[in-house]
Amino acid sequence: MTKDMTVGSPFKTIIYFSIPMLIGGIFQQFYGVADTIIIGKFVGSRALASIGATTSTMFFFLSFAIGFTNAFSIVMGQFFGAKNESMIKITFINSIFVTLFSSLLLLIFGMFFSRPLMLLLKTPPDIIDNSVLYLKICIGLSFGQLFYNGAASILRALGDSKTPLYFLILTTIINIILDLLFVALLKMNVLGAAIATVISQIMSAFLSILYIINKFPILKLNREDIVFNSSNLFMIIKIGVSMSIQAIFLSIGEMIISGVVNTFGTNVVASYTTGNRINQFASMAYFVVSEAFAVYTAQNFGACKFDRIKDGFKSIIILSLSLSIISAIIIFIFGDNLVRLFISSNDEYIDIIANICKGYLRISSLFYPFLAIILLYNNSVRAIGNALIPLISGITELAIKVGGSIFLSIPFGYVGVWFANPVGWAIGIIPTCIYFHKYAFKNKKL
């Protein structure tokens, strides 16, 4: 039920591990896209914009907790590679406590800070109430998402990328059914979409945790296993804080960019929302490959097989670049058709939104290879336990994004904003690229 990634062909090992994650990524995107399409089709572009306006704020709230849940896979993957069963159990225990604490914090933040943040971002008056409602429900009750992410990270660290997929497929189908029930049939609009999302997330968390408890002997806990281990907790916190801070910085950058986008009106907000959804789909394949390589790197780092990491990297970076180029070609050919999937053909603003969004997607897609590379480098460096260098990369990326969105929007309008994100990807690569190739494996021991 576990997969040892320290043996066998590096390329084949990573590819086989990636396939279930890629399928899962597709369904996870459906998870969010279902809200967008159903809201856009059955309610309209104003409601679509109200959900889209929450994207950066949602990421801001969730970034802290998700950074820690992603750290679980790195720490546990290293101990699994080192064949240290006792530390695997201790990491599992600490991961539960960290997730519970994070869920409580998000409940408080979601209830009390949703409206102030949306006001700060100058959300258009005609959509702000629905935006705040969506945030309060999805953030305040985000414990389901956090526990699922934590459980999936742990399973993947042990080499099991299939089980999270099965639960995700099931709960995605449930989410779409509930969306149609609450939004299309019962006319609950944004409230219905939020409730459907939360219920689906709670179900995926419950099933994942139940499976781990019953099916993984390596994670079965006895009373004597439940002990406090400060060094392990510190290891999780060190990596988790770095990932969280980087995610928070990036989310602040996204919030600033959203604030700039909001000044151009609801049609541009709807275009930005739709474009971001499509960008997430387009980048999914090489994003998943980078995550799979991170698990591979963590296990092999724990086993001190550094040459094996380097060999795997050479083939995976070629794969990632190839996937990013294919994604860019698809965007250029089918971009307009993809945009129109998200909005009702009867919407009076559809042609305006489609034209704006198509330009945004074409600019972003030109830089997809840089996004593929920065994802691969950052995930690889984190997987060997270095928290600082990816943080520096994230700060660099943030500075470029924020500065670009503000200053380029003055002479070029919203088109200037479209260049901010991709230029940030390109320049943010530099710190992790230098570290990985020059310093990552010198005198390293777990």
- Give the CA-trace dihedral at 256, 258, 263, 268, to 10 degrees: 160
Identify which of 395, 405, 388 has the alpha carbon closest to the alpha carbon of residue 427.
395
Cβ 410 vs Cβ 352: under 8 Å: no
pLDDT tens, position by position, 233-243:
888 888 888 77
CA distance 221 to 231: 19
- In our burial notation (b when 16+ CB lie closer than 10 A, e otherwise), range 169-189 reads bebbeebbebbbebbeeeebb
- Tokens representing residue 107 in the block: 């409940």
pLDDT, mean over the chain = 85
- In our burial notation (b when 16+ CB lie closer than 10 A, e otherwise), range 252-290 reads bbbbbbbbbbbebebbbbbbbbbbbbbbebbbbbbbbbb
Query: What DSSP letter does each residue of 122-160 carry, written as one string?
Result: T--TTTHHHHHHHHHHHHHTTHHHHHHHHHHHHHHHTT-
Give residue 166's pLDDT.
Answer: 84
Flag whether pLDDT at 378 surpasses 60.
yes
* Mean pLDDT score, 383-407: 87
- Tokens representing residue 135 in the block: 């945030």
pLDDT tens, position by position, 402-424:
898 888 888 888 888 899 888 98
- Give the CA-trace dihedral at 382, 387, 389, 394, to 10 degrees: 90
- Tokens representing residue 6 in the block: 């320290």
Give residue 1's pLDDT.
Answer: 55
Cβ 99 vs Cβ 65: under 8 Å: yes
pTM over 0.85: no
CA distance 303 to 301: 5
DSSP state of 343: S
Quickly state the pLDDT bin for 85 (edges 50, 70, 90): confident
Crossing angle for the helix pair 55-81 and 85-120, nearest 10 degrees? 170
Flag whether pLDDT at 433 surpasses 80.
yes
37 versus 269: the higher-pLDDT residue is: 269
CA distance 124 to 261: 11
- Give the least confident one: 113-122, 315-324, 375-384: 113-122
- Tokens representing residue 390 in the block: 């990816």
Quickly state the pLDDT bin for 446 (edges 50, 70, 90): very low
pLDDT tens, position by position, 225-269:
677 788 888 888 888 887 788 777 777 777 788 888 888 888 888
376 versus 169: the higher-pLDDT residue is: 376
CA distance 414 to 409: 6
432 versus 440: the higher-pLDDT residue is: 432
205 phi-psi bin (left φ>0, alpha ψ -120 to 50, beta other): alpha
Give residue 31's pLDDT.
Answer: 65
CA distance 210 to 244: 27
pLDDT tens, position by position, 149-181:
888 888 888 888 888 888 888 888 888 899 899
